Amino acid sequence: MKVKPLADRVIVKLEKSESKSAGGIIIPDTAQEKTQIGTVVEVGPGTEKEKITVTVGQKVMHDKYAGTAIKIDSVEYLILRMSDIVAIIE
C-alpha cells in the first residue's frame, strides 16, 4: 500500500528502541520511552505558510507525543506535521 501525505505532513519510519539497559536488564515494551527519532519516507507538498524543509531519507527528531501512528505491512510509521519535527540528525 502506498500512502502520500497531504499539505505540510511528513511520514516517518520509527526507529526501534533498545530493549536492554546498559546493565543488561531487559525492558518490556510498555516501560520503554516512546522513540523520538525516525527516517523520513514521504513528504507532502507543503503549504504557503508551512514549507517542507526535510527530504526523504533524512533522520529527524520529533516531539514526543506528536503525530498519528499508522502501520503499513506490519511496519510502524508516524504521520507528523512539519512543525512537529524539531531537528535533523546528521
Domain ranges of the chain: 9-89
- pLDDT higher than threshold 60 for residue 46: yes
CATH number of 9-89, picked from 3.80.10.10, 3.40.50.460, 2.30.33.40, 2.40.50.140? 2.30.33.40
- pLDDT higher than threshold 60 for residue 28: yes
Task: Determine the length of the chain.
Answer: 90
CA distance 50 to 45: 10
- pLDDT higher than threshold 80 for residue 33: no
Rounded to two decimals, the pTM is 0.80
Residue 29, helix vs strand vs coil: helix
DSSP 70: E
Could you tell me what percent of the chain has a pLDDT over 70?
A: 83
Q: How confident is the model at residue 18 (pLDDT cuts 50, 70, 90)?
A: low
CA torsion, ordered 10, 11, 13, 18, to nearest 10 deg: 60
87, 60 contact by CB (below 8 A)? yes
**Res 84: pLDDT:** 94
CA distance 85 to 62: 4
